[in-house]
């Protein structure tokens, strides 16, 4: 494969080992510029980034997220669903905004945050930096909101670390479920999905064993271990406190 | 700028004018392979793509989405939040999955769909194809679910067109809100956001005028026109019917 974009996307991996070197301001500016060109629903631009570089604040985020490794990153970026910006637009237009009360509003904010995150991570990788998506920003969302001073009608959807990767300690690219159980022609095929889960469970188990990580579970054990409980129980209440209601 | 990844991301635009040429199977396979390497929360791989190439079915999706232009695309891809796959994993592990009942479950599915969409669009652009994200997949979600035969615990979060761009009719890259009102250091700054909305409203208005599109509104009018009403009122009820409950 010789296309540099495809090659980068196909070789993507989460980076958790950093050298401790500083992310250059000029590089960060380029990464942010590229991220801002990501599409947003109806060009509403309902995404705001909060870039945390203060090391004590990054350590606090690591604590709130329950992921001590975050503290090794040079920067932490929060991807905020920002219906405060669009409410300012509604005010300027002389109307009242209601989108944040609907389930559709949550979906738009979360999808656009995901789009921005993937764009940010691709731009960072292009300049040689490493990142890991951090869903743990939703573990103690009210505390993150206080730390980042987020106003009503906003929510910290997802985060990312950013730093210079320690190339001697790079993760390997992780295998995926069989492609025929991931992308289907015309219609969903539940049988292929079930078969894919069964075979991938063994593939992942063997992949961990191959790295000497015999304590890691297969796909079924690892996924079920998280998804059989409400693992971030503060999300719904904090969304409501910020003005998101899931109605209609 | 000479980095090919950054250049592509910074020059990104939605493509709505296609030549009608066919997307090559080998290219589609490469795009899907790159998309599958996108990260998913806890490696749950709760995203499934349904690739629609049947022209009558694409025309039906265009109708359901209320966007006739979709019918000009050679392919339409649905990005499905798939907690049916992870429920199969839970079954294999001998436990019961509950994640889809929590607000956190919806967020995870929507963020991961956004990540997959952005990766898909970057991979497609790398091979010379054009795309536009389609939130209209949520306009009549129950009908989309029926068309794609999606099982319980899944939801069609977002879609994308795919086709060969008509380069004589490319959109221009759209301006964005001032970068200092998009990316902030350490803390959210509500004043900068309000100032950014006011200045961008005029920038966008002038940008449309510069293309002779004097009927288009500024940022305030366009955004408020959509967000001052519940524009996709079927989302919450259809999510519930699929097993998503927003509790906890």
Nearest Cβ partner of B193 from A85, A117, A221? A85
Spatial CA neighbour of B47 closest among B109, B89, B92, B119: B109
Contacts of A125 in chain B (CB under 8 A): 5
pLDDT at B248: 77
- Burial of residue B59 (CB within 10 Å: 0-12, 13-18, 19+) is middle
Nearest 5 degrees, angle CA B46-CA B50-CA B51? 140
Average pLDDT of chain A is 96
pLDDT at A151 over 60: yes
Which residue is closest to B15 within chain A, CA to CA?
A39
Q: Whole-angstrom Cα distance, residue A211 to residue A207?
A: 7
pLDDT tens track for A13-25: 999 999 999 999 9
Which residue is closest to A113 within chain B, CA to CA?
B111
Mutation target among B87, B118, B123, B198 for the A interface, most CBs of A within 10 A: B118
pLDDT at A1: 54
Which residue is closest to A61 within chain B, CA to CA?
B186
- Confidence bin at A247 (pLDDT 50/70/90): confident
Q: What mean pLDDT comes out for the span A91-114?
A: 96
pLDDT tens track for B23-51: 999 999 999 999 999 999 999 999 999 99
Identify any residues that bridge with A80 across adjacent strands, giving them in sequence order. A48, A156
Would you list the domain boundaries of chain A?
A: 4-168, 173-228
pLDDT at A248: 77
pLDDT at A2 over 80: no
The CATH homologous superfamily to which domain A4-168 belongs is NADH Oxidase (3.40.109.10)
Nearest Cβ partner of A228 from B43, B95, B110? B95
Q: Whole-angstrom Cα distance, residue A35 to residue A175?
A: 27
Q: What mean pLDDT comes out for the span B102-107?
A: 95
Q: Whole-angstrom Cα distance, residue B207 to residue A27?
A: 28
pLDDT tens track for B118-164: 999 999 999 999 999 999 999 999 999 999 999 999 999 999 999 99
Spatial CA neighbour of A200 closest among B202, B112, B43: B43
Quote the percentage of chain B above a pLDDT of 70: 100
pLDDT tens track for A171-183: 899 999 999 999 9
Residue A135 to residue B6, Cβ atoms within 8 A:
no
Nearest 5 degrees, angle CA B131-CA A11-CA B36? 50
Query: Using an 8 Å Cβ cutoff, are A203 and A108 in contact?
Result: no
């Amino acid at each position: 494969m010789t296309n540099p974009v495809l090659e980068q996307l196909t070789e993507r991996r989460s980076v958790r080992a950093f050298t401790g070197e500083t992310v250059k301001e000029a590089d960060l500016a380029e990464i942010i510029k590229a991220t801002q060109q990501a599409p947003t629903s109806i060009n509403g631009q309902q995404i705001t980034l909060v870039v945390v570089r203060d090391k004590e604040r990054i350590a606090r985020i690591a604590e709130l997220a329950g992921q001590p490794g975050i503290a090794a990153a040079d920067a932490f970026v929060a991807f905020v669903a920002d219906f405060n910006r669009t409410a300012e637009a509604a005010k300027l237009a002389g109307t009242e905004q209601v989108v944040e009360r609907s389930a559709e509003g949550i979906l738009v904010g979360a999808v656009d945050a995901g789009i921005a995150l993937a764009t940010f991570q691709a731009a960072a990788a292009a300049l040689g930096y490493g990142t890991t998506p951090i869903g743990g920003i939703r573990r103690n969302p009210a505390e993150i909101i206080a730390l980042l001073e987020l106003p009503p009608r906003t929510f910290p959807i997802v985060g990312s670390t950013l730093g210079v990767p320690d190339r001697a300690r790079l993760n390997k690219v992780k295998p995926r479920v069989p492609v025929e159980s991931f992308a289907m022609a015309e219609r969903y095929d539940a049988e292929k999905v079930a078969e894919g889960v069964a075979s991938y469970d063994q593939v992942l188990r063997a992949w961990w064993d191959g790295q000497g990580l015999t304590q890691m579970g297969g796909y079924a054990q690892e996924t079920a271990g998280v998804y059989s409980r409400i693992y971030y129980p503060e999300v719904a209440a904090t969304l409501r406190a910020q003005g998101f209601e899931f109605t209609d």
